[in-house]
Amino acid sequence: MDTPADRIISHFKDISAVPRCSKNEAQLRNRLMQWAEKHRLPAITDNAGNLVIKIPASTGYRDAATVILQGHLDMVCEKTPDSRHDFSRDPIQLVTDGEWLRARQTTLGADNGIALAMAMALVEDEAIRHPALELLFTVDEESGLNGAKKLDAGMLAGRILINLDSETEGEFTIGCAGGMDTRISYEAKFCRLPKSFSLMGLTVSGLHGGHSGIDIHKGRANANVILARALHYLAGKFDQRILTLSGGTAHNAIARDAAAGVAYPAADVKAVQQQLKEIEKTLKSENEAVEPGLTIRLEPGNPNDSQHRCFTDDTAAVCLKLLLAMPHGAVAMSTEMADLVETSTNFATINTAASTVEILTSQRSSVATKLAHLSTRIEAIAGLAGARVSRDNGYPPWQPDPTSPLLERCKSVFRQTFDADPKVAAIHAGLECALIGDHCPGMQMISFGPTIEDPHSPNERLHLPSVGRTWDFLTALLASYDSDG
């Protein structure tokens, strides 16, 4: 006989067959609306595309307060450089690896598909006792909590929200950082590449990557930072021409790969390659504890440029200084909660457009004024280089409330279920609770979920035993809301 965890994973497999990168959630939303119709459940959407499915209360729970179960429809779409996966059409290929579930060469999407799967399994299990439920599934979370920003709060009757988007089993999240993205655009000038130069591709690869909030303090290398260091070093020894720059894929992922189209005098290529080996050796030594797969290569050809144009010397010099000046990593630790990053920045992406070099950074802080200050610092660096700057994807912090009745109920149910105390924490990632709370004054909120490691990277994996234990706690928590509870 299958277990609740088996049924949850079965739903997750169905979800994983549907493409759902950020801003491309319509197909999955339609599937869920069809599922709701099959079970004769009302389903409504707002103008942003957020979905609410309403579940009637079990017998004996009709006088209890409505509870919202919340997750997001989209996933971060990352893959390894050798993967041919097409996120617009291909299903995620799931692989069971002992107690873990992962994907073949891509992100798994357990962040946050497992929340949807748990909600669906709960609705289909008639043995579960619960108050009236509202399943709130938001869109475009991973691009900047955009669905939650535009949420029509009138769709919701409940004022108790359980967010299922945390990633450490046995831990209750009661607060999160706010965030802000900074977009930098530098006007590049180009010239013709001398015919005596050999086209080359310089690549940085093999890095661990990870979530720019949860993993930012773990000392993982950033491919954009390493690329800038390598190019700067080589520029000091050789006549280097830069054709293109690229690196990273998303504002909320630590860059795993970066590349530059470069050119050197043909007579210098062997010497450049030898120097690059020394650079690689140095950087491997600096990062050997966390980045054993770090690789830097210089190979013939540059598939990203067919016009054989390169940056002028002035543009190349300013770009390298700009890249070198971009901060990355934890900036400050919390003075109120042990081991919590307070403020950080992620040097997220670099791209070469037709006439500009585009840089994206993503700042986070649990202190709104420090978030603004860090963003201003980055704007100042860009301004010194003569670049244009804009901000977007801003969202506020979720301030912890350690006296919340919902938190007290969760702690009590957890002790009764597992005979142990849960961990209570705030996180450095962004959660939609911050914005939902703004839309719905008086909302009690908490976040928890099964254990997920390395979200936002192809190393993402879901701990299967934790799915069952999270289910046991969730169902016990809902059952505690009987009419007398």
Q: What is the C-alpha radius of gyration for the chain, rounded to an integer number of angstroms?
A: 24
* Predicted pLDDT of residue 78: 92
| Cα 442 to Cα 159: distance, rounded to the nearest angstrom | 7
Q: Which of 302-311, 325-334, 427-436 has the lowest mean pLDDT?
A: 302-311
Answer whether residue 484 shows pLDDT above 70. Answer: no
Answer whether residue 304 shows pLDDT above 70. Answer: no
CB 212 within 8 A of CB 346: yes
Q: 199-255: per-residue pLDDT in tens?
A: 999 999 999 999 999 999 999 999 999 999 999 999 999 999 999 999 999 999 999
Residues 356 and 455 in one domain: no
Which residues neighbour 228 within 8 Å (Cβ) at sequence distance 6 or greater? 320, 323, 324, 326
Helix/strand/coil (H/E/C) assignment for every residue in 449-477 = CCCEECCCCCCCEEEHHHHHHHHHHHHHH
When pLDDT is averaged across residues 123-128 and rounded to a whole number, the result is 95
Answer whether residue 30 shows pLDDT above 90. Answer: yes
**Could you give the dihedral angle defined by the CA atoms of residues 123, 129, 134 and 139, in that order, rounded to the nearest 10 degrees?**
-50
CB-based burial of residue 155 (10 Å sphere; 0-12 exposed, 13-18 middle, 19+ buried)?
middle
**How are the residues of the chain apportioned to helix, strand and coil, as percentages rounded to the nearest 5?**
30, 30, 40
When pLDDT is averaged across residues 284-302 and rounded to a whole number, the result is 93
- Enumerate the active-site residues: 74, 141
Final residue of a domain: which of 395, 417, 443? 395
Answer whether residue 483 shows pLDDT above 70. Answer: no
Other Cβ atoms less than 10 A from the Cβ of 310: the count is 24
Question: What CATH number does the domain containing 203 carry?
Answer: 3.30.70.360
| Cα 36 to Cα 175: distance, rounded to the nearest angstrom | 31
Q: Is 485 part of any domain?
A: no
* Predicted pLDDT of residue 1: 67
CB 181 within 8 A of CB 361: yes
Using the Cα atoms of residue 184, residue 185, residue 186 and residue 191 in order, give the sign of their dihedral.
positive
Question: What CATH number does the domain containing 432 carry?
Answer: 3.40.630.10
* Predicted pLDDT of residue 99: 97
Answer whether residue 281 shows pLDDT above 60. Answer: yes
* Predicted pLDDT of residue 302: 59
Q: 67-106: per-residue pLDDT in tens?
A: 999 999 999 999 998 999 999 999 999 999 999 999 999 9
Residues 110 and 67 in one domain: yes
| Cα 115 to Cα 463: distance, rounded to the nearest angstrom | 14
If one counts the domains in the chain, the total is 2
Q: Is 165 part of any domain?
A: yes
C-beta contacts of 405-412 below 8 A and 24+ residues apart? 405/444, 406/160, 406/444, 406/445, 406/446, 407/172, 407/174, 407/446, 409/477, 409/480, 410/172, 410/446, 410/448, 410/477, 411/172, 412/480
* Predicted pLDDT of residue 85: 98
- Domain range for 76 is 4-177+398-479
Q: 131-145: per-residue pLDDT in tens?
A: 999 999 999 999 889
Q: Is 376 part of any domain?
A: yes
Residues 308 and 445 in one domain: no
Q: 356-398: per-residue pLDDT in tens?
A: 999 999 999 999 999 999 999 999 999 999 999 999 878 999 9
Share of the chain above pLDDT 70, in %: 98
Which residues neighbour 373 within 8 Å (Cβ) at sequence distance 6 or greater? none
CB-based burial of residue 285 (10 Å sphere; 0-12 exposed, 13-18 middle, 19+ buried)?
exposed
Q: 440-478: per-residue pLDDT in tens?
A: 999 999 999 999 999 999 999 999 999 999 999 999 999
Q: How confident is the model at residue 350 (pLDDT cuts 50, 70, 90)?
A: very high
Q: Is 86 part of any domain?
A: yes
Per DSSP bridges, beta strands 388-395 and 178-187 are antiparallel
Q: Is 189 part of any domain?
A: yes
* Predicted pLDDT of residue 66: 97
| C-alpha distances in Å from residue 324, one per residue of 232, 319, 328 | 8, 9, 10
**H or E segment and range at residue 20:** none
CB 253 within 8 A of CB 192: no
Final residue of a domain: which of 375, 395, 415? 395
CB 92 within 8 A of CB 21: no
| Cα 29 to Cα 467: distance, rounded to the nearest angstrom | 23
* Predicted pLDDT of residue 158: 97
Residues 166 and 251 in one domain: no
Q: Is 125 part of any domain?
A: yes
Residues 173 and 184 in one domain: no
Residues 230 and 167 in one domain: no
Final residue of a domain: which of 362, 395, 428? 395
Q: Is 484 part of any domain?
A: no
Token pair for 359: 């840089």
Token pair for 446: 């908490």
Residues 366 and 429 in one domain: no
Residues 26 and 96 in one domain: yes
Residues 8 and 157 in one domain: yes
Distance of CA 215 to the CA centre of its chain: 10
Which residues neighbour 62 within 8 Å (Cβ) at sequence distance 6 or greater? 131, 132, 483
Q: 230-240: per-residue pLDDT in tens?
A: 999 999 999 99
* Predicted pLDDT of residue 156: 97
Query: How many Cα atoms sit within 13 Å of 461 on the Cβ side?
Result: 14
* Predicted pLDDT of residue 482: 85
* Predicted pLDDT of residue 230: 98
Answer whether residue 42 shows pLDDT above 90. Answer: yes
**DSSP character at residue 169:** T
Residues 391 and 301 in one domain: yes
Residue type (1 letter), 25: E
| Cα 404 to Cα 95: distance, rounded to the nearest angstrom | 39
Answer whether residue 306 shows pLDDT above 80. Answer: no
* Predicted pLDDT of residue 103: 98
Residues 386 and 403 in one domain: no
* Predicted pLDDT of residue 12: 98
**DSSP character at residue 59:** T
| C-alpha distances in Å from residue 192, one per residue of 47, 125, 242 | 49, 67, 11
Q: Is 60 part of any domain?
A: yes
Residues 315 and 453 in one domain: no
Per DSSP bridges, beta strands 423-427 and 171-176 are parallel
